[in-house]
C-alpha cells in the first residue's frame, strides 16, 4: 500500500492506495502546528480507524506547498511508518516537462495535478485546481506545462470580505438560489460564487484564444471545484482525487 499526502495551505489530504485503487481518504488541517509525534500519532490513529494496518504501508509520496510543516511530517513518516518518503520537487521524475521561465517556481501540487490529468485525459489539457488559491495550468499534447495562471481562491476572497469589512458576517460558501440577492448573506454568496464562475469562464476562453488550442480538455479539481464545475459548461470533468492520483503515479514512476 502507498500513502499519498497532499499538503495544502488549508488542509493536508491523505490517500491510501492499493495498486491503483484508492482505499481510504482522510485529512488534517494544515493550519495547526504539530510536532513529529503529534503527526505520527494522528496518522497512525486515522489509519487504524480506517482499518488500514500501518505496517503494510510500503511507501509514502508527499507534495507540499507549506514548507514549515515538512520537517515534522517527514520525521513522523520515517518514525511511525518506517518509510523514507518521496518528496515531489525539482528533479523528481514525473514524465511532465515544465516549459516556464523558472520551472523551480512550479508548486508540487500543480505538478502532480498535471501528471494525473495528462495520464488520465491526455493533452492538450487545462487543469483547474480550486483550493486556497485557484490555479489554471495548461499542458500541451506532448506533456509540457507551458502556462500557469494563479488567482485568489474563493475562500481567500470570502475571508477578505468578512475580515476587512466592519459589518459583513462570516458565511457558508455555497451557491444561493439566485444572483438577484435581497439580503446580506445571499448577496455575499452570489458575489463569491457567480464571480468565480465568471472568472473561470473568462480565463478558460482567454487561454484557448491566446494559445490557439481550441480543443483542449478542461479538468477541475479541489475542494470547491465541484460547485463551480456544476455551473458551467466550460469545464469538461470534475475529478475530486486528481492530486492524490498524481502523487500515486509519481511514486510509481520513481519506484520503477
Out of 109, 113, 137, 239, which one is annotated catalytic?
Answer: 109
Buried/exposed 117-152: b ≥16 CB within 10 Å, e otherwise: bbbbbebbbbbbbbbbbbbbbbbbeebbbbebeebe
| CA 129 to each of CA 65, 66, 214: distance values in angstroms, whole numbers, following the listed order | 14, 17, 20
Give the pLDDT of residue 101. 92
pLDDT, tens digit, for every residue of 166-186? 889 999 999 999 999 999 999
Position 166 scores a pLDDT of: 86
Angstrom CA distances, 128 to 147, 165, 192, 229, stand at 12, 29, 17, 10
Go through the domains of the chain in sequence order and give each one's CATH number.
2-87 (3.30.420.40), 97-247 (3.30.420.40)
Residue-wise pLDDT for 188-200, tens only, equals 999 999 999 999 9
The low-confidence residues of the chain, meaning pLDDT below 70, are 256
3-state helix, strand, coil in the chain (%, to 5): 40, 25, 35
| Residue 239 annotated to the active site | no
Amino acid at each position: 500500500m502507498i500513502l499519498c499526502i497532499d499538503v495544502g495551505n488549508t488542509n493536508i489530504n491523505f490517500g491510501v492506495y492499493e495498486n491503483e485503487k484508492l482505499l481510504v481518504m482522510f485529512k488534517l488541517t494544515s493550519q495547526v502546528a504539530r510536532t513529529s509525534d503529534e503527526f505520527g500519532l494522528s496518522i497512525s490513529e486515522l489509519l487504524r480507524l480506517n482499518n488500514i494496518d500501518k505496517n503494510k504501508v510500503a511507501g509514502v509520496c508527499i507534495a507540499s506547498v507549506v514548507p514549515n510543516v515538512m520537517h515534522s511530517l517527514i520525521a513522523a513518516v520515517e518514525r511511525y511508518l518506517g518509510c523514507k518518503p518521496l518528496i515531489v520537487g525539482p528533479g523528481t521524475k514525473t514524465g511532465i516537462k515544465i516549459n516556464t521561465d523558472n520551472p523551480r517556481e512550479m508548486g508540487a501540487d500543480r505538478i502532480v495535478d498535471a501528471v494525473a490529468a495528462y495520464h488520465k485525459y491526455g493533452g492538450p489539457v487545462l487543469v483547474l485546481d480550486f483550493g486556497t488559491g485557484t490555479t489554471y495550468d495548461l499542458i500541451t499534447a506532448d506533456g509540457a506545462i507551458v502556462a500557469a495562471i494563479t488567482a485568489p481562491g474563493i475562500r481567500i476572497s470570502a475571508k477578505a470580505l468578512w475580515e476587512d469589512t466592519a459589518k459583513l458576517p462570516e458565511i457558508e460558501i455555497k451557491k444561493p438560489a439566485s444572483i438577484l440577492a435581497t439580503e446580506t448573506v445571499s448577496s455575499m454568496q452570489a458575489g463569491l460564487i457567480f464571480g468565480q464562475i465568471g472568472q473561470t469562464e473568462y480565463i478558460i476562453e482567454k487561454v484557448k484564444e491566446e494559445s490557439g488550442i481550441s480543443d483542449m480538455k478542461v479538468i477541475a479539481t479541489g475542494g470547491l471545484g465541484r460547485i463551480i464545475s456544476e455551473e458551467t459548461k466550460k469545464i469538461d470533468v470534475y475529478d475530486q482525487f486528481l492530486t492524490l492520483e498524481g502523487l500515486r503515479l509519481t511514486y510509481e514512476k520513481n519506484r520503477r
